[in-house]
């Protein structure tokens, strides 16, 4: 288990990370979500021991990581935001190079390199120079490099930046496999809500150097559970119906949409009232859709800004 207490990193007067506490339990997949400049990379640099906190402590199984740096570094693999590969070398040569840096050699090195090339589905291109690779292939090789020494913890800093949706999905599937089939503990940083929703059991939301919310996906969505959005599709739109809907006690707002209304309510069960209001106006209801809150909604609710501001 990795735990951080009161982590702070200051650059002069700027607190890039400001008093953060978090933990990572063995085998779980945790998301760190925040907009550009929130402090995610700074936090990750400290958690992966690449930079020292200005204040605060990081523990591995109850002991400060700075008192056991070598063994800590053997247990973590970091996928940096920028691709760190040698373009002139082939995929296999890159993995061999990084493997040697971890003192792997001989058959053990060859075996590990082959295993990773297969796992990352790079077998067919293993003897090609990295400079000929697509963005998605480079990202997969970057991930393989972080795994060369069989780390227990895998820390990923926005690993899907700059790749197309298909390659992104492929990479996300591979990361999920690493957690579910190989039992890796994962800290996944992103400003893409859908990636974190797909991969992570637990989430920290970060903004301006601080954690502004944390919990399981459901716990975080509970922040908005008092609000529900209903989409009402009707055969005809009438101003009088809109007024009726607005007049309902639990209704916060009604907006006209293409073939109906979007109704935001404090009530969890508004179906009956919506149908009655429509019936009263002789309007046929074709469909009612209830929208669940997304993590994007949660962020907007907490900060008043969208994630990609």
The reply on whether position 211 binds ligand ATP by CB under 6 A is: no
**37, 63, 100, 225: which one binds ligand ATP (CB under 6 A):** 37
Nearest-approach distance from CB 249 to ligand ATP, in angstroms: 42
Residue 20 vs 120, nearer CB to ligand ATP: 20
Nearest 5°: the CA angle 268, 272, 277 is 115
Q: What DSSP element (H or E) covers 246?
A: helix 239-247
Nearest-approach distance from CB 14 to ligand ATP, in angstroms: 5
Backbone phi and psi for residue 155, each to the nearest 5 degrees, phi listed first: -110, 120
Nearest-approach distance from CB 33 to ligand ATP, in angstroms: 10
Nearest-approach distance from CB 13 to ligand ATP, in angstroms: 10
Residue 82 vs 123, nearer CB to ligand ATP: 82
The reply on whether position 305 binds ligand ATP by CB under 6 A is: no
Residue 112 vs 191, nearer CB to ligand ATP: 191
CA distance 59 to 257: 52
DSSP state of 129: B
Single out the segment in contact with ligand ATP by CB under 6 A; choices: 20-28, 34-42, 116-124, 211-219.
34-42
Nearest-approach distance from CB 66 to ligand ATP, in angstroms: 20
List of E strands, 55-184: 55-60, 63-64, 76-79, 153-157
Residues 6+ apart with CB under 8 A from 95: 112, 113, 116, 117, 141, 144, 145, 148
Structure tokens at 145: 């490099």
Kindly identify the residues of this chain, within the stretch 164-203, that bind ligand ATP according to CB under 6 A: 191
Residues 6+ apart with CB under 8 A from 266: 226, 227, 228, 250, 251, 252
Point out which residues bind ligand ATP (CB under 6 A): 11, 14, 16, 34, 36-42, 191
């Amino acid at each position: 288990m990795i735990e951080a207490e009161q982590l702070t990193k200051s650059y002069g007067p700027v607190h890039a990370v400001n008093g953060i506490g978090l933990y990572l339990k063995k085998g779980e997949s945790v998301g760190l979500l925040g907009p550009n400049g929130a402090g995610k990379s700074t936090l990750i640099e400290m958690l992966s021991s690449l930079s020292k906190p200005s204040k605060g402590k990081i523990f591995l199984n109850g002991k400060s990581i700075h008192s056991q740096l070598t063994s800590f570094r053997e247990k973590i693999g970091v996928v940096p935001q920028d691709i760190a590969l040698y373009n002139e070398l082939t995929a296999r040569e890159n993995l061999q190079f990084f493997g040697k840096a971890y003192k792997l050699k001989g058959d053990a090195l060859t075996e590990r390199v082959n295993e990773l090339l297969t796992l990352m589905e790079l077998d067919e291109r293993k003897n090609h120079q990295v400079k000929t690779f697509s963005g998605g292939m480079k990202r997969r090789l970057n991930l393989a490099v972080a795994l060369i020494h069989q780390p227990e913890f895998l820390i990923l800093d926005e690993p899907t930046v700059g790749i197309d949706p298909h390659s992104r999905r492929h990479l996300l599937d591979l990361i999920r496999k690493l957690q579910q089939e190989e039992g890796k503990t994962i800290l996944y940083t992103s400003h893409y809500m859908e990636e974190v929703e797909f991969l992570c059991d637990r989430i920290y939301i970060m903004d301006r150097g601080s954690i502004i919310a944390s919990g399981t996906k459901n716990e975080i969505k509970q922040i908005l559970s008092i609000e529900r959005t209903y989409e009402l599709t009707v055969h005809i739109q009438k101003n009088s119906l809109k007024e009726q809907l607005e007049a309902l006690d639990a209704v916060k707002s009604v907006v006209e949409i293409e073939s109906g209304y979007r109704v935001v309510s404090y009530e969890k069960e508004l179906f009956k009232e919506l149908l009655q209001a429509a019936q009263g106006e002789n309007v046929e209801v074709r469909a009612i859709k209830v929208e669940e809150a997304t993590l994007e909604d949660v962020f907007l609710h907490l900060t008043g800004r969208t994630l990609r501001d």
